[in-house]
Structures are given as C-alpha cells and as structure tokens.
Homo-oligomer: A and B are copies of this chain.
Amino acid sequence: MRVSNKILFFVLDGASDRPVGKSTPLQSAITPNLDKLADTGISGIMDTIAPGIRPGSDTAHLSLLGYDPYKYYTGRGPFEAAGVGIDVKAGDVAFRCNFATLKDGLIVDRRAGRIRETTELAHSISEGVDVGTDFIFKESTGHRAAMVLRGEDLSADVTSNDPKKENKPMKEFHAISSKAEKTAKILNDFLAQSIDILESHPVNQERSSAGMPPANVILLRGAGLVPAIIPFEEKYGLKSAVVAAAGLVIGIGKMCGMEHVSFDGGTGGVDSDVVGKVRTAIKALEDHDFVLVNIKGADEAGHDGEFEKKRDFLSRIDEAFSEVLDLKDTMVVVTADHSTPVSIKDHTADPVPIMINGDGVRVDNVHAYNEIDAANGGLNRLRGMDIMHILMDLINRAEKFGA
C-alpha cells in the first residue's frame, strides 16, 4: 500500500460562505476537479480557530500550520514586516505602516493619494533618521510599508499615531504600560525626524507641484512583539515552502521558516494567474515536503459582496486544479482560512470546508467540494490546530504517544 510522503496544502482564502438563496458561491461555481478530489477524498468542516471565533487571515494561517494564535499572534506588525522581506527576529517590535498626508496637524489622506512608488522615500528615512536604537524601515506595495525596532527594553504596549479616520488630528505615541515608555519616546522621535525628511524630499516636492498629496508622514500601527517561533522544519521535519501573493501570508510563512517561492502573475485579486500559481506549487513539491498555497481572490470578492465574482473566481480556481488530480504520493488538502460571506462583506466564524485526498484516507460519501456537503463528511468537525497532526499521521510521520 502506498503512503503519501508530501503535502500540498491549499488555502482558498475566504472561499467559504453562507447560502444566498439556496446556495453558496462554492455550490454555484463549476468545480468538477475539486468535486473529483472530494469524491475520492475525505471531507469535513473546520473551525480554523474555534467555533464562533471570527478569524483573521493571519491568526487562521498560524492555526492551520499548528501554531496556536493565542500564543503566537501578538499583532499584525510582525507578520507584515516579515512579509515585506524584513528578516524579523524574536524580540523585535514590528509595525505595519502607511505613507500618509499631513496638513496643519490633520491626516488629510491616510494613503497619500494611493502613492505607488515609495522606494526613495523609504531609503531616505532609513539613511536619515537616528533614534538611538536600530530600526529597519521598508516599503511594501503602494502606500504600505513596515518598520521594525530592534534593541533592549522595547515593548509593543504602545498606541498608534493613526487617527483611523481622515481629517482628524494625528496622534502622539503613548505607552500603555510603563515598560513601553522608552519605545513610545523612540517612536515620537522617529515620527518627528521622518516628517522633517519627508516634507523636504524631492519626491514630495514634485508631487506637491503636480497637485498630488505628498507622502509626508508615516502612520504606524499593529504593534507586535515578534514571537519566538519554532521553525516549521524543526517542528515537523518537513522542508517547506509558501506560494502566495499576499504579504501577510508570505510573512507568516517566512516567520515559520518557510521558503517563499515567488512567481509572476500573483496579484492577490481575482485577476491572479491561478494556473501559474498552482503549477509553481506543484513544481515546488519537487524539492519540498510541504507546500502551502494561498489563493486570495475569493476573499476579495467576498469583501466586495459580489456573489458572481466570487463564484466565477472559484470556477477559475477549479480549472487550475486539473493538474492536481494526477499527483502521486501527495496528500492534497483544500480548505479556507475563514468564511467571507458576500452577505456580510467581512470574515465570519462559519466553519470552512476541508478536504483531504491522498493515499489511505477513509473515502466518505461526499461527492462535491463545498461548505454544505462537507458537513456530512468523514472528518466531521475539526479545529485548525488539529489538521497538521492529522496530516503528519496520514503521511506516517507522527510520533506515537505511549507504547
């Protein structure tokens, strides 16, 4: 009897939904390949964190990889920072950042006119700011960036300078606990110095003269202490890779020590090259034991509340799965990180479908891949933290507890 020895783990981000009328987007989509996998696999439903707990993409992915989010999720900053390519270390304090527009003390545009190119601005900040503590500031896509503070006696117990709404006064950083006073002072220093540099920066002078809002201030939020994470390979003995377009998911993969295998064509939206992404993942299986693939578009369509857009993107995902059907020696998992119902336009706690297809699974009577049929499957109802244990057992690499 064959035993699969590799794991290909698909997260169809936000694909799970609630019925609109009589069916969900997954039920309405044309999914012969996913249905074939369900027909010859085992299905179930899964609370990626726990029943009734609304997951973020970050907390859900941690949980699916077997890292308890209640222990490892300290805020979004660390994962965003890792996602933009900063080599974060345990003990760093990390932030997600926006370039924004400050005028007369008010944040008049939280995205600085959706500025596209911030490399020079970020470079000038990195070179010109000195707050007496090491920091790494790096631009991301669009108006986004990330910052990491590294040193002694730092704390993430600080407020944000982001007023959250536009045309409100920018805030100062404040310590929430006494151990964060040094960090709050560093951040206020950073803010003052970066404003000086950005105000007079040629890029902004050019933007101002062209009538575009200058990117003259950095908003820092999502403060989090970078946790000490046992690398995935050490935890499971599996050489692992992540294929994703979303910085947050790449960041989670990197923080877990996964190799980020990039490919051209991933956008994180419904225009993403899904076929290319799936091929890249299959290719990555050649020299990895575990490949995590995040396909983001369905989540976007859910947030937009667009049923047809979501349904059609799920049909496109299915087409890309034709090449997954023939994989040998591979445990294929297809699940989601959370539901993003088009009726709610945000994440909900409704359980996600999970399907496992590979050598030795107890094939059940579920013949279609969707949230509703999955509830009748042989896996019944699981939690996200269970799934890596189950997969390790199915590829015969789980340790026995007892004799």
A residues sitting closer than 8 Å to B (CB atoms) are 1, 3, 18-20, 24, 45, 49-60, 69, 73, 76, 222, 248, 341-344, 346-350, 360-365, 371-372, 375-383, 386-393, 396, 398-403
Contact = CB atoms under 8 A, between A and B. Distances in A.
Contacts of A76: 402-403
Contacts of A376: 365, 376
A222 B403 CA distance: 9
A357 B364 CA distance: 24
A interface: dominant SS: loop
Contacts of A401: 49, 53-56, 59, 69, 73
Given A55-B402, A248-B403, A364-B372, 8 more contacts: A50-B386, A50-B389, A51-B386, A52-B391, A52-B392, A55-B401, A347-B400, A381-B382
A386 B59 CA distance: 19
From A57, A350, A372, A401, name the one whose CB has the most chain B CB atoms within 10 angstroms.
Answer: A401
Nearest to A49: B401
A27 B348 CA distance: 34
A389 B49 CA distance: 12
16 contacts: A3-B344, A18-B361, A50-B386, A52-B398, A53-B389, A53-B393, A54-B393, A69-B401, A73-B402, A341-B360, A348-B396, A350-B362, A350-B393, A365-B376, A379-B381, A380-B380
From A59, A222, A376, name the one whose CB has the most chain B CB atoms within 10 angstroms.
Answer: A376
Nearest to A342: B1
B348 A393 contact: yes
A220 to B, nearest CB: 15
Contacts of A45: 378, 380
A349 B389 contact: yes
